[in-house]
C-alpha cells in the first residue's frame, strides 16, 4: 500500500511588496529634525525644517551597505564557529545632475563657502564658491514610496561627503554630473528606517 502523496506546495509571495521608484534625497545641517510622521512624505515639510533637496540625478540614488567580517575559526572545524563584524560601511551615492554651486560644494566635501554679492552699480551679481578641504558633516534622509504607498525614510544622522568626483564637460553626449558619495560616520544604531503603514485613526 502506497504512503501519503508527496506534495510540493511552496509558500505564496506578495507581489505588492515588490517596490520600485525613485528616492528623494535631502541633506541638512547635522542635528536638523525630521518632519512629523504625518508629514514624512511632504516635500515642503522637509524644506521648511531646513532640509535641502539635491534635485535631479542622472540615475537615481543608491544605498550601499558593505560590512566586512572576520571569521572566527578553530582547527577542529572547517567552518567558522563565529563571524564578527569588522567594519560596516554605509554609503548613499548619486550623480547630481543640477549644476548649482550648492551641489558642487556638496559633492566636493561640503567644506566650501558660497558668498553672494548682489548686483549694484558696476557690480554684477555673483556667487563665489570658495573651496576647502575642511569637510563638514551633515545629515541625510532618503524618502521613497513604500509598499503601502506611503513614505519610507532612511535617516542617517551624520554623514560626510568624501567621494571621488569626476565631471565630464561634453558637447552633447550627456549633461555634467557631480558624483556625490555620503558615508555614514555615526553610530550604526542611530540610523533609522521608518515606514508609514497606515493613516492615523483620527
Partner 1 sequence: MTTAQPPAAGKPPAGTEPAGDRQDPSGRAAQLEDELAVLRAEAVAGAKVLMQIAEGSPHVAITFGGVTVGTSPTPVPAHMAPALAEAAAGAGVTLIQTEA
- List contacts with partner 1 (CB under 8 A): 27-39, 42, 44-45, 49-50, 52, 102, 105, 110-118, 120, 123, 128, 130, 132, 134, 136, 138, 200, 202
Q: Would you state the cell numbers that stand for residue 54, as one nine-digit string?
A: 539635491
Cell of 101: 554651486
For partner 1, the closer CB: 17 or 133: 133
Q: Which is nearer to partner 1, 137 or 175 (CB)?
A: 137
Shortest separation between residue 135's beta carbon and partner 1, angstroms? 9
Q: Could you tell me the three cell numbers for 53?
A: 533637496
Minimum distance of partner 1 from residue 143's CB (angstroms): 16
CB nearer partner 1, residue 163 or residue 175: 163
Cβ proximity of 41 and 143 under 8 Å: yes
Given phi > 0 = left and psi -120 to 50 = alpha, else beta, which region is 60?
left
> Minimum Å distance from CB 50 to partner 1?
8
Q: Please, what is the minimum distance in Å from the beta carbon of residue 30 to partner 1?
A: 8
Q: Which residue has the cell 512629523?
A: 36
Of 68 and 123, the one with the shorter C-beta distance to partner 1 is 123
109 by DSSP, 3-state: which? coil
Q: Is 97 left (phi over 0), alpha (psi -120 to 50) or beta?
A: alpha
Amino acid at each position: 500500500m502506497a504512503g501519503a502523496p508527496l506534495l510540493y506546495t511552496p509558500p505564496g509571495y506578495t507581489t505588492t511588496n515588490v517596490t520600485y521608484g525613485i528616492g528623494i534625497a535631502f541633506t541638512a545641517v547635522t542635528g536638523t529634525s525630521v518632519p512629523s510622521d504625518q508629514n514624512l512624505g511632504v516635500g515642503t515639510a522637509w524644506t521648511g525644517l531646513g532640509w535641502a533637496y539635491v534635485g535631479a540625478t542622472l540615475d537615481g540614488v543608491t544605498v550601499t551597505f558593505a560590512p566586512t567580517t572576520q571569521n572566527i575559526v578553530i582547527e577542529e572545524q572547517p567552518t567558522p564557529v563565529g563571524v564578527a563584524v569588522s567594519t560596516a560601511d554605509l554609503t548613499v551615492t548619486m550623480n547630481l545632475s543640477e549644476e548649482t554651486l550648492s551641489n558642487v560644494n556638496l559633492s566636493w566635501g561640503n567644506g566650501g563657502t558660497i558668498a553672494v554679492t548682489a548686483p549694484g552699480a558696476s557690480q554684477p551679481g555673483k556667487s563665489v564658491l570658495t573651496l576647502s578641504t575642511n569637510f563638514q558633516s551633515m545629515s541625510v534622509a532618503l524618502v521613497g514610496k513604500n509598499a503601502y504607498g506611503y513614505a519610507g525614510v532612511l535617516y542617517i544622522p551624520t554623514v560626510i561627503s568624501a567621494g571621488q568626483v569626476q565631471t565630464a564637460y561634453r558637447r552633447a553626449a550627456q549633461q555634467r554630473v557631480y558624483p556625490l558619495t555620503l558615508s555614514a560616520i555615526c553610530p550604526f544604531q542611530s540610523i533609522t528606517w521608518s515606514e508609514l503603514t497606515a493613516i492615523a485613526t483620527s
